């Protein structure tokens, strides 16, 4: 099954950062067989493919969001104007604890619809403690590419319903990894997810990290050094800072994905670089919860892997990558001047950077032959986002600073259209909307906090 997509412009974001006008992308099954220039296209032999004309559209690799919480999508707008520990203890934990299988599925599906419509084709999701199978079901049906894992918590004085014994957290995680790592034709992979230091014992953190060694390609995801009060509590318990503590536990490695990393001391930055741990940067969440500004230019200078994510709907309150790219740039400029974080850097973090963080750099993150066909089509012809020219710089500036979700025309993963001509093909939007409101209503009456 081959198809030939013919956009006006291909922004490859490959090693040479090629921009191809009037070329084409030949897709064979799940894979990009060839990326053709206009000249190569006229010489393309045979016609054993379907042609998909995409006049006026720009093709680029789909966005990779390395940190989201699909289980929180229903909680959008329900935890406003509070800082992290209150946000978690008063709002998010009780809401997560009130999930049923049906509300978990509705929450995941709502998040996935929004992610796909706004051009995200790969995610790493941190689930809740229970009902992870419903997240997997929604992810599988949606066609998106995902790393996912249930949140592990063996310490939680606020919501015992979200606390498990160390053994149960590890046993259920192991079972899930055996079931789902590599499922959905390889689109789903597992990432163990001890939630953050304050809800995890030392042995849970160490065993969870050790488990990744038994599964090739598995990752370890957690939150780290997000907020100053959180860090004070970490120091009180561990006698050191968060990332230093991970080093002491022996769990900093090249499978370690640390969300936030806002408050690191100098030695911890060295450790990230030495151990090749990854930083998952969530600028909207950091601003909205008043957490702080992650020193991303410094991480990039040190060659530390940085990628982007929207975090959860209740600390953002959207899941759109355009916003994360733009804010990741704007948040740094008042501190370091306007030359830091140019648009092309942001576009790389949002694609190849995400792919590299997930160990998928050979599979996704650019439009190149041999890579997976994870591609989005953008309409940059509108009055408000028309680039001056089709150079890589002008396109990047337009996409990062002027575009939004409504400019996404189509999205495919593994050669399958998930969203085409602004219509979701794998998610029934009417059903998703009805389910989301019904399930939120029922969940709120179970949670009894509002
Ligand atoms: N730290 C521990 N859990 C969470 C979460 O769900 N969201 C954020 N932003 N930080 C966390
Ligand atoms: Fe998070």
CATH of the domain at 239: 3.20.20.140
> Does ligand 1 lie within 6 Å of residue 69's CB atom?
yes
Residue 159 is assigned to a structural domain of this protein: yes
Q: How far is the CA of 90 from the centre of ligand 2 (A)?
A: 16
> Does ligand 1 lie within 6 Å of residue 195's CB atom?
yes
Largest Cα span, the chain: 69
290 and 162 fall within a common domain: yes
344 and 372 fall within a common domain: no
Residue 345 is assigned to a structural domain of this protein: yes
Give the whole-angstrom CA distance, residue 333 versus residue 322. Answer: 17
270 and 163 fall within a common domain: yes
Helix axes 166-180, 202-211, angle to 10 degrees: 20
Closest-CA residue, ligand 1 atom 11, reads 223
> Does ligand 1 lie within 6 Å of residue 96's CB atom?
no
Atom number of ligand 1 nearest to Cα 198: 2
Per DSSP, the residues of 330-373 read HTTHHHH-TTSS-HHHHHHIIIIIHHHHTT-TTTSSS--TTSB-
208 and 352 fall within a common domain: yes
48 and 142 fall within a common domain: no
Q: Could you report the per-residue pLDDT of 53-87, keeping only the tens digit for each?
A: 999 999 999 999 999 999 999 999 999 999 999 99
Last residue of a domain, one of 303, 324, 357: 357
204 and 318 fall within a common domain: yes
- Domain of residue 48: give its range: 2-61+365-421
pLDDT for res 47 = 79
92 and 168 fall within a common domain: yes
Residue 447 is assigned to a structural domain of this protein: no
Q: How far is the CA of 405 from the centre of ligand 2 (A)?
A: 22
> Does ligand 1 lie within 6 Å of residue 263's CB atom?
no
Specify the number of domains making up the chain: 2
82 and 49 fall within a common domain: no
Closest-CA residue, ligand 1 atom 5, reads 88
Residue 152 is assigned to a structural domain of this protein: yes
> Does ligand 1 lie within 6 Å of residue 196's CB atom?
yes
Contact (Cβ atoms closer than 8 angstroms) between residue 168 and residue 151: no
> Does ligand 1 lie within 6 Å of residue 163's CB atom?
no
Residue 162 is assigned to a structural domain of this protein: yes
179 and 313 fall within a common domain: yes
- Ligand 2 (single-atom ion) residues, CB below 5 Å: 311
pLDDT for res 450 = 67
Q: How far is the CA of 198 from the centre of ligand 2 (A)?
A: 14
Strand partners, 194: 152
> Does ligand 1 lie within 6 Å of residue 400's CB atom?
no
219 and 90 fall within a common domain: yes
Q: How far is the CA of 385 from the centre of ligand 2 (A)?
A: 31
> Does ligand 1 lie within 6 Å of residue 357's CB atom?
no
Q: Which of 80, 112, 72 minimizes the C-alpha distance to 96?
A: 72
Which residues in the chain come in under a pLDDT of 50?
Answer: none
135 and 51 fall within a common domain: no
Give the whole-angstrom CA distance, residue 429 versus residue 114. Answer: 10
299 and 211 fall within a common domain: yes
Q: Could you report the per-residue pLDDT of 154-213, keeping only the tens digit for each?
A: 998 888 999 999 999 999 999 999 999 999 999 999 999 999 999 999 999 999 999 999
> Does ligand 1 lie within 6 Å of residue 193's CB atom?
no
Contact (Cβ atoms closer than 8 angstroms) between residue 318 and residue 310: yes
Q: Which CATH number is 386's domain given?
A: 2.30.40.10
Residue 327 is assigned to a structural domain of this protein: yes
Q: Which two tokens stand for residue 401?
A: 């600073």
Per this entry, what is the length of the chain? 450
Last residue of a domain, one of 303, 325, 357: 357
Residue 445 is assigned to a structural domain of this protein: no
């Amino acid at each position: 099954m081959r198809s030939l997509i013919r956009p006006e412009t291909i922004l490859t974001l490959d090693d040479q950062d090629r921009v191809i006008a009037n070329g084409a992308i030949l897709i064979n099954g799940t894979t990009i067989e060839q990326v053709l220039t206009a000249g190569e296209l006229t010489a393309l032999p045979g016609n054993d493919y379907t042609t998909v004309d995409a006049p006026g559209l720009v093709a680029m690799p789909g966005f990779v969001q390395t940190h989201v919480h699909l289980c929180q999508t229903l909680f959008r707008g329900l935890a406003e104007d509070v800082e992290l520990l209150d946000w978690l203890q008063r709002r998010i934990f009780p809401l997560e604890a009130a999930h049923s299988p049906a509300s978990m599925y509705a929450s995941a599906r709502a998040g996935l619809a929004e992610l796909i419509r706004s051009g995200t084709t790969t995610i790493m999701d941190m689930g809740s403690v229970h009902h992870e199978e419903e997240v997997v079901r929604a992810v599988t049906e949606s066609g998106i590419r995902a790393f996912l894992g249930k949140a592990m918590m063996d310490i939680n004085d606020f919501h015992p319903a979200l606390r498990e014994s160390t053994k149960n957290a590890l046993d259920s995680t192991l079972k899930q990894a055996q079931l789902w790592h590599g499922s959905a034709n390889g689109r789903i992979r597992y990432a163990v997810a001890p939630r953050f230091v304050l809800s995890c014992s030392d042995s849970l953190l160490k065993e969870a990290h050790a488990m990744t060694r038994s599964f090739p390609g598995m990752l370890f995801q957690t939150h780290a050094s997000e907020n100053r009060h959180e860090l004070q509590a970490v120091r009180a318990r561990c006698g050191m800072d968060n990332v230093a503590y991970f080093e002491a536990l022996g769990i900093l490695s090249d499978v370690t994905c640390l969300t936030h990393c806002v408050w690191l001391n100098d030695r911890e930055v060295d450790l990230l670089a030495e151990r090749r741990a990854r930083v998952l940067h969530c600028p909207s969440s950091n601003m909205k919860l008043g957490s702080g500004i992650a020193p991303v230019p410094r991480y990039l200078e040190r060659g530390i892997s940085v990628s982007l994510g929207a975090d959860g709907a209740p600390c953002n309150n959207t899941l759109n990558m355009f916003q994360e790219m733009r804010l990741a740039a704007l948040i740094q400029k008042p501190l370091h001047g306007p030359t830091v974080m140019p648009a092309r850097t942001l576009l790389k973090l949002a694609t190849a950077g995400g792919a590299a963080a997930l160990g998928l750099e050979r599979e996704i993150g650019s439009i190149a032959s041999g890579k997976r066909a994870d591609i989005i089509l953008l309409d940059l012809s509108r009055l408000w986002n028309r680039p001056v020219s089709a150079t890589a710089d002008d396109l990047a500036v337009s996409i990062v600073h002027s575009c939004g979700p409504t400019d996404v025309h189509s999205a495919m993963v593994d050669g399958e259209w998930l969203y085409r001509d602004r219509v979701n093909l794998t998610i029934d939007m009417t059903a998703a909307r009805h389910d989301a409101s019904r399930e939120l209503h029922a969940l709120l009456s179970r949670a009894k906090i509002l």
